[in-house]
């Protein structure tokens, strides 16, 4: 094979490598930002019931919590979403740690579709922070590290 043949082969090999890298980057991006609430991933099991309503308050536990006089963190997600799965143990730990000082909820967007629509959730996971008066003060989309959630709770007066 002459110089021209090798140059042509190298050009095509470079193009193939670029396409593979692009595919890898797209895959990584999709796993970081799971999906929109309207379109579950193909083959998804959607009824995961990650939010446990308070006894006797099946309709809207968030509305009740917002009247509690405590800051509230509401996480909207789906049990099949990778970043949502990563958030669950963090939120479960914070719920136990801040019991009696703040309310922490995990709402499955399929189980609580009315709340999902009411709060305009466009991407999961989405965390919404409410102050003691029940006013939304911050919204975050995607994975949110524990330290940043703790800092936000401190800003809201939770020790």
Q: Taking the domains of the chain in order of start, what are their residue ranges? A: 61-155
Please give the CATH superfamily to which domain 61-155 belongs. Glutaredoxin (3.40.30.10)
Residue 152 Cα to chain centre, angstroms: 16
Does 81 qualify as catalytic in the annotation? yes
Candidate list 81, 91, 104, 156, residue with the active-site label: 81
Comparing C-alpha atoms, which of 119, 150, 141, 129 is closest to residue 71?
129
User: Is 22 a residue whose pLDDT tops 50?
Assistant: yes
- % of the chain with per-residue pLDDT over 90: 62
What mean pLDDT comes out for the span 143-150? 97
Exactly one of 84, 104, 109, 156 is catalytic; which is it? 84
pTM comes to 0.65
Tell me: pLDDT of 57 over 70. Answer: no
Region at 157 (left for phi over 0; alpha for psi -120 to 50; beta for the rest): left
């Amino acid at each position: 094979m002459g110089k021209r043949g090798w140059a042509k082969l190298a050009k095509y090999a470079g193009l193939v490598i670029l396409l593979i890298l692009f595919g890898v980057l797209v895959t990584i991006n999709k796993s970081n930002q799971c999906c929109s609430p309207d379109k579950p991933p193909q083959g998804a099991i959607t009824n995961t019931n990650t939010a446990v309503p308070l006894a006797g308050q099946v309709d809207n536990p968030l509305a009740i919590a917002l009247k509690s006089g405590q800051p509230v963190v509401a996480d909207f997600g789906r049990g099949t979403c990778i970043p949502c799965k990563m958030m669950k143990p963090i939120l479960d730990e914070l719920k136990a740690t801040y019991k009696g000082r703040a309310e922490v909820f995990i709402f499955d967007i399929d189980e609580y579709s009315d709340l999902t629509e009411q709060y305009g959730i466009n991407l999961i996971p989405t965390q919404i922070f409410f102050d003691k008066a029940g006013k939304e003060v911050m919204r975050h989309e995607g994975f949110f590290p524990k330290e940043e959630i703790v800092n936000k709770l401190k800003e809201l007066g939770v020790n």
